[in-house]
Amino acid sequence: MPIYEYQCRNCNRTLQALVMSNKEEKDLKCPNCGGTDLKKLISLVSYHVPEADRLANYDPKAQHGESFFRDSRNIGLHAKWRAKQLGVDLGSTFEEKLDRIRTDPSSVIKDSE
Ligand SMILES: [Zn+2]
């Protein structure tokens, strides 16, 4: 599935979104400032890879480029990879937190204050 990257013209933050229709694209908002003036970054189109595959292909020793760190789906990937290696169950609250960090980081920061 196509995941597009956008840049907010208001705060310059980049975001990624799975966009299935023009209407969905029109409704997109910047998670940082709520801005709706988004520029599509055409060169950085990526395709949905299931997390199990991302984990299986994750190499902790690999040098990661800027695009790796810009991809919010990679947040927590190392922790999950390590937990899997050690046979540790991180539990469902870890998944929930991770989802929130990936989609709405400011809400997690607010909770920890
Ligand atoms: Zn913004």
Q: Residue 102 Cα, ligand 1 centroid: separation in angstroms? A: 16
Query: How does the average pLDDT of the chain come out, rounded?
Result: 83
Ligand 1 midpoint to CA 105 (Å) = 13
- Top CATH class of 1-48 equals mainly beta
pTM, two decimals, is 0.50
Q: What are the pLDDT digits (tens) for 12-34?
A: 998 888 887 888 888 999 999 99
Distance CA 96, CA 16 (A): 19
Distance 90 CA to ligand 1 centre (A): 32
% of the chain beyond a pLDDT of 90: 20
Assess whether pLDDT exceeds 80 at residue 83.
Answer: yes
Every domain range in the chain assigned CATH 2.20.28: 1-48
- Tell me the residues surrounding ligand 1 (ion) with CB < 5 Å: 8, 10-11, 13, 30, 32-33, 35
How far apart are the CA of 29 and the centre of ligand 1, in A?
8
Give the dihedral sign, CA 64/65/67/72: positive
- Amino acid identity, position 70: R
pLDDT tens digit sequence for 27-63: 999 999 999 999 988 654 556 677 788 888 888 888 8
